Amino acid sequence: MSNILIIKHGSLGDIAQASGAIQDISENHKNDRIFLLTTKPYFDLFKKNPFIHEVILDKRLPRYNLIYLYFLMRELKKHKFSKVFDLQNSSRSNFYKNILFPKAGKVVWSSSATTMPRDKNKEEFDKISVLERFDHQLKKSGLNTFNTLKPDFSWAATDISEIKNFYKFGKYILLFPFCSPHLTIKKWPYYNKLIELILSRYGDEFKILTAPGPSEINDAKDINALALLDNGRALDISQLTSLIKDSSFVIANDTGPAHITAHVGAKGLTLFGKHTTAYKVSIERENFKAIEVSDLNNLSAEKVFERLSNSLA
């Protein structure tokens, strides 16, 4: 039995997307022990993943913090990994490669860089969708891939019956009107108008909910929907996943919850401006679609509501 390392630091949407690749790595190494290196926000979450045996914490302190770097490298070296699958494909994970396996090719260190098609440079390769890049990486590393292109994030879900009983709701439409402060280009401004249209058409048939993150709780007060919290705190990722999975419909900006929706099979819609494309981030699934416009300010609530009502019909 060998030890296999997977590197996946984040973010939330990327974690959901990588679920299929992680499953394929595990199923191609059934007689080996699978370790995963990740960051604090996802450390406890990955302990629930049935395809991972052990999770290693990377605090991602500055690289010039030599004491931290020494102990992290010592921790990784002691496991004598026979192969590393770098699903983060970042400058940091490449930095780790240069310390651990400086001369390794794709046989030992599988990454975008070591499996890059000879006829493409990085700029060209990055135009391919995220899941197609994962699929290429794993296939070039000798793996059979059955799940990489259709990740299933349902493993992250947990029981939220207490929260549902506390708020007393049945069928619900879930909205995610938030985004990172530095990515306001992703933010669609007409959620309250959309809520008016939903209430006008459906009345009390659906409860309208939102689930703000820790830094979004105050912002949620500006949205005319019930903001779900757990004893005053934001839902954790597992609770959020369950809430999304059980919803009647989700409407979200291009953020982590949108990617969760896509990869738990829930029905919904995500709204894209010019920041990227739905194809590039591999977000469209059978039940989850995207509206893409050049300027989200010009996407009307009526247009979004039309798509929502057609799907519910």
Instruction: Strand 3-7: give its sheet, edge to edge.
Output: 54-57, 33-38, 3-7, 83-86, 109-110
Do 164-312 and 3-150 have the same topology in CATH? yes
* pLDDT at residue 180 tops 90: no
| Band (75; pLDDT cuts 50, 70, 90) | very high
Q: Once rounded to an integer, what is the mean pLDDT over residues 164-174?
A: 95
Q: Once rounded to an integer, what is the mean pLDDT over residues 105-123?
A: 89
Q: Once rounded to an integer, what is the mean pLDDT over residues 161-172?
A: 95
Over residues 4-60, the pLDDT tens digits come to: 999 999 999 999 999 999 999 999 999 999 999 999 999 999 999 999 999 999 999
The pLDDT value recorded for residue 81 is 97
What CATH number should be reported for the domain whose range is 3-150?
3.40.50.2000
| Band (185; pLDDT cuts 50, 70, 90) | confident
* pLDDT at residue 181 tops 80: no
Was domain 164-312 assigned CATH 3.40.50.2000? Answer: yes
Over residues 260-288, the pLDDT tens digits come to: 999 999 999 999 998 889 999 999 999 99
Residue 176 phi, psi (nearest 5) = -125, 85
Burial 69-90 (b: 16+ CB within 10 A, else e): beebeeebeeeebebbbbbbbe
User: Measuring CA to CA, which residue among 178, 170, 195, 290 is closest to residue 234?
Assistant: 178
Q: Once rounded to an integer, what is the mean pLDDT over residues 65-77?
A: 97
Residue 291, helix vs strand vs coil: strand
Q: Which positions ≥6 away from 48 have C-beta within 8 Å?
A: 155, 156, 158, 238
Over residues 226-244, the pLDDT tens digits come to: 999 999 999 999 999 999 9
The pLDDT value recorded for residue 182 is 73
Q: Which amino acid is at 275?
A: H
Q: Where are the domains of the chain?
A: 3-150, 164-312
The pLDDT value recorded for residue 126 is 84
| Band (119; pLDDT cuts 50, 70, 90) | confident
Tell how strand 83-86 and strand 54-57 pair up.
Answer: unpaired
Whole-number mean pLDDT of the chain?
A: 95
* pLDDT at residue 184 tops 80: no
The pLDDT value recorded for residue 123 is 81
Q: Once rounded to an integer, what is the mean pLDDT over residues 81-93?
A: 97
Number of CB atoms found within 10 A of residue 284's CB? 15
* pLDDT at residue 118 tops 90: no
